[in-house]
Amino acid sequence: MKKLIRDNRTKKAELLVDETIFSVANGYLGIRGTFTEGYGTDFEYNQTYLNGFYDYYDYFYEENFTGFPQRGQKFVNLIDGQLMEFIVNNNAINISSCEVLSLKREYDLSLGMTIRRIHYKTVDNYEFIIKERKIVSSKYKELIAIEMSFESVNYDGEVLVKSYLQESIKKESKGLDPRIYNRDTRHLEITEVLTKKSRINSRTVNSNLLMTSSIYHSETLEYEGYNNKIVGKKVFDIKEGNSINIDKYIIHTSSMYDKNYISKNDKVNEEVSKLTFNDLLDFQKSYFIDFWNIAYIKVESDEFIESILNYNLYQINSSGGESSLHNIAAKGLSGEGYEGHYFWDTEIYLVPFFALTNPVKAKNLLMYRYNTLDNARNEALNLGYSKGAKIPWRTINGDETSPYYPAGSAQFHINSDVSYAIIKYYETTNDLEFMIDYGFEMLLETARFLIEALDYKNGVYHLNGVTGPDEYTTVVDDNYYTNQMLKYHFKNTYDFYNEYKNNLDKVNEKIEVTPEEIEKLLDVSNKINLPFNKELNIYAQDSSFLEKKKLDLKSIPVEKFPLLLNYHPLYLYKHQVLKQADTLLSMVLLDFEDESIYKDSFNYYEPITTHDSSLSKCIYSIAAFRLGSLEFGCKYFKEVLETDLLNIHKNTQHGLHVANLGGSYLGIVYGVLGLRIHKNYLSINPIVTKEIKGYEISIIYRGSEIKFKVGTSLEIESTKEVLIMINKRNVLIDGNYKINLQQ
């Protein structure tokens, strides 16, 4: 089953959530699942985004300190080409003028297409059925295609169709929420309205990125131009039982991706105008056959796990990775939460999916970091350091743009997170060329910054004054996660250098690698402080964490969550309370070995974790699976799966929680299958549970396609010879392998 179906969700809150759920994107261009005929309501707000297409603006601080980012960035809602009104007796047919008799929405994941059928009844008792199919093309990345059908059930007469290309309409304003943009400024201005060509040229106000947006239709409309819009009109005569059918094509091209973005727009227009909507669907089909061939995960279960999981994978794939000029925003292309910024979410929660199913996209994502490495070098200087690179905590164009450093710039761990992803990508793909040309340079530059940030005392290295993943505890000393990831980062950088130093002349010439700093990497890696509490048999989240009072989460009423919207940061910081997995995250990522400490740490931290971040439950679910708490693992795994579909964080209307989608992949692959990537082999420790009775997962590892089938038995197929450690036993697999699993 590759379909998602939702019926009769017509309340405002449902509509807004479903705009996100039914958003369509191809990693490059994305559009939310608004109704093409519009809502006619005050919350109507069509949104189309081009990945990385952003504007900047001046930040304002009541107390402005040196080194604070002085410019914000946000991705920019494009010129809207979607709206197409059907007007009967001067009334546009939509939810605000009509009663909705039925609404059916469907996401066809085998075509990357949304389908909608809505049955309206006007106050005059006329009934109309609108059917819409929408794709963002996998072949023509710049193209949105919409097939509209307007059927009269019982009306005979004229219907005026008005189809727009226009400046996006501003939405309702928002309350106090640090996760949402809080200005009311226009960031895209129209420079030219070319009515005859049904095209609008625009530019971002400050970053000066240029865009051409054009529309055309399967019917000949008469276009009228205004200063901020073009309206195509046509009057149809319709009879009871008949339909008006119009396809609309919207093409956005930008100077960001194409120097000749205007002629590119023409070219796409020309090519696509020769095709029908169904021709485009053929391309979709072929693209998604390839995609699902490797990405599809079968799950034998009484529940909807398989369909939700694959929906999630589909949306991860839609969110980015099409080019090394962009990354993946926290909400992908599905909404404006977090302003289209890229975070560590990509490297920790999403790169594994791409590395294992589509290494080209994984490389694109890492190359984005390489392409912005100079910005990260500048940020290191800005923070007072003499060299190295500090990956920005949040950014679009590569410059740090986090205005609240305690939960931003202070998260030095991002340097090791990106390095971890590079190392894992390399282990998964064996892409040595990438490592030599780009990867090692990033590993070392990010390490150099951290080396300078370290303190050294009595034979031990400390990393003081930083924030770990958990944002309810900020600017602390020796965050365990950060130090553990740094240890891994440094050791692997050291090893890679020693293995390939003779191949590193080019990078050596560029950034002057010294033997001393390479030795230092090993020394730090051996002597970095990892705060351990013997009494509790756990690693302390940081050097002072265990000294604080625990916050009694059970005594806090439900409506006070997420805590960040209800408590002063100082209050949260004074307590043992976690927004998200921190110590446990490194245990999961680095497959912590000592089961007793792992378990005690889990039992200590999980009850004081609010999971107010959507990056949390997937990690605890994996840890639970690994520790044998299958029921607990499943419970969290299902909550992870359903985060957006059930709107668990109550903000899905602002976009998909893309890292969490990645977390659902990690949940099944790291958690259930127990897959771990190593340099020369894989390891798995598959489990099945009451809820997950069996599953099939395919991956690509160093050019081999490997398929794992787990149920009462374990079957492995591989296109090449591969060494897999199965439940701690090495097995060399070439072709097929099958054993019975103990239940």
Please state, in angstroms and rounded to a whole number, the distance separating the CA atoms of residues 717 and 331.
35
Q: Which window, 324-332, 350-358, 399-407, 630-638, contacts a second copy (CB under 8 A)?
A: 399-407
CA-only gyration radius of the chain, Å: 26
- If binding is defined by CB under 8 A, does position 532 make contact with a second copy? no
Burial per residue of 673-684, b for 16 or more beta-carbon CB atoms within 10 angstroms, e otherwise: bbbbbeeebbbb
For residue 238, what are the CA distances in angstroms to 152, 344, 570, 634? 7, 54, 65, 54
Which of 310, 372, 409, 586 lies at the binding interface for a second copy (CB under 8 A)?
Answer: 409
Site for a second copy in 429-458 (CB under 8 A): 453, 455, 457
- Of residues 225, 465, 694, 711, which one binds a second copy by CB under 8 A? 465
| Catalytic option among 347, 441, 471, 606 | 471
> Does residue 384 interact with a second copy by CB under 8 A?
yes
Q: Which stretch binds a second copy (CB under 8 A): 41-49, 173-181, 263-271, 615-623?
A: 173-181
Q: Is 536 in the site for a second copy (CB under 8 A)?
A: no
Q: Is the CB of 435 or the CB of 450 nearer to a second copy?
A: 450
Shortest spacing between CB 517 and a second copy, in angstroms: 18
Among 89, 102, 154, 182, which residue sits at the site for a second copy (rule: CB under 8 A)? Answer: 182
Sole window of 146-154, 459-467, 688-696, 706-714 interacting with a second copy (rule: CB under 8 A): 459-467
Nearest distance in Å: CB 526, a second copy: 19
Any contact of residue 177 with a second copy (CB under 8 A)? yes
- Under a CB-based contact definition with an 8 Å cutoff, are residues 437 and 424 in contact? no
573 burial (CB, 10 Å; 0-12 / 13-18 / 19+) is: middle
Strand ranges across the sheet with 127-136: 3-7, 98-108, 113-122, 127-136, 143-152, 243-254, 210-217, 199-204, 188-194
Residue nearer to a second copy on the CB measure, 564 or 692 = 564
For 616-727, list the strands marked E by DSSP: 676-677, 682-684, 694-701, 704-710, 713-726
By CB under 8 A, is residue 66 in contact with a second copy?
A: yes
Query: Contacting a second copy (CB under 8 A), which of 9, 527, 548, 707?
Result: 548
Label residue 40 left, alpha or beta by phi (over 0 means left) and psi (-120 to 50 means alpha). Answer: left
Residue 140 pairs in a beta bridge with none
Q: Are 615 and 621 in contact (CB under 8 A)?
A: no
From 158-166, 325-333, 430-438, 559-567, span contacting a second copy (CB under 8 A):
559-567
Smallest gap from Cβ 612 to a second copy, in A, equals 13
Nearer Cβ to a second copy, position 548 or 693? 548
527 binds a second copy (CB under 8 A): no
Judged by beta carbon, residue 178 or residue 628, the one nearer a second copy is 178
115 φ, ψ to 5°? -130, 135
62 counts as binding a second copy under rule CB under 8 A = yes
Going by their DSSP bridges, the two strands 549-550 and 575-576 should be labelled as parallel
Residues 6+ apart with CB under 8 A from 502: none
Is residue 549 a contact point for a second copy (CB under 8 A)?
Answer: yes
Helix 373-382 with 440-453: angle, nearest 10 deg = 10
Reading phi first (left if > 0) and then psi (alpha if -120 to 50, else beta), residue 297 is in beta
**Residue 535 catalytic?**
no
Binding mask 703-732 toward a second copy (x if CB under 8 A, else -) reads ------------------------------
Of residues 177 and 219, the one with the C-beta less far from a second copy:
177
Closest CA to 687 of 596, 621, 616, 642: 621
Shortest spacing between CB 450 and a second copy, in angstroms: 12
Q: Could you give the CA distance from residue 425 to residue 702 in angstroms, rounded to a whole number?
A: 10
Of residues 477-516, those binding a second copy (CB under 8 A): 477
Kindly state the smallest distance separating residue 408's Cβ from a second copy, in Å.
8
**Nearer CB in complex with a second copy: 266/477:** 477
> Could you say whether residue 554 binds a second copy (CB under 8 A)?
no
- Answer for the pair 402, 67: CB distance below 8 angstroms, yes or no: no
DSSP 567-603: S-HHHHHTEE-BSS-SHHHHHHHTT---HHHHHHHHH
Q: Whose structure tokens read 């705009």?
A: 19
Is residue 172 near a second copy by the rule CB under 8 A?
no
Query: How is residue 653 annotated by DSSP?
Result: G
In the list 122, 206, 371, 464, the residue contacting a second copy (rule: CB under 8 A) is 464
Among residues 565 and 627, whose Cβ is nearest to a second copy?
565
736 binds a second copy (CB under 8 A): no
Using CB under 8 A, which residues numbered 40 to 59 contact a second copy? 59
Residue 323 vs 409, nearer CB to a second copy: 409
Based on CB atoms, which residue is closest to a second copy, 383 or 733?
Answer: 383
Residue 196 touches a second copy, criterion: CB under 8 A = no
Q: Is 72 in the site for a second copy (CB under 8 A)?
A: yes
Least separation in angstroms between CB 404 and a second copy: 4
Minimum distance of a second copy from residue 547's CB (angstroms): 6
Total site size for a second copy, rule CB under 8 A: 50
Shorter beta-carbon distance to a second copy: residue 465 or 711? 465
C-alpha 655/C-alpha 328 separation (Å) is: 13
Helices (H), 430-557: 432-434, 440-453, 480-500, 505-511, 515-527
Q: Which of 7, 42, 169, 178 binds a second copy (CB under 8 A)?
A: 178
129, 475, 522, 687: which one binds a second copy (CB under 8 A): 475
Site for a second copy contains 564 (CB under 8 A): yes
Q: Does 304 bind a second copy (CB under 8 A)?
A: no
Q: What phi and psi values does residue 71 have, to the nearest 5 degrees?
A: -135, 135
Angle, CA of 674, 680 and 684, to the nearest 5°? 15
Q: What is the DSSP letter of 495?
A: H
567-606 positions binding a second copy, by CB under 8 A = 567-571, 573-574
Q: Output the six-digit token pair for 510.
A: 């560029």
State the sign of the Cα–Cα–Cα–Cα dihedral 566, 568, 573, 575: negative
Q: Which residues bind a second copy (CB under 8 A)?
A: 59-68, 72, 176-178, 182, 382-385, 403-407, 409-410, 453, 455, 457, 462, 464-465, 474-475, 477, 543-544, 547-549, 564-571, 573-574
Active site positions, annotated: 471
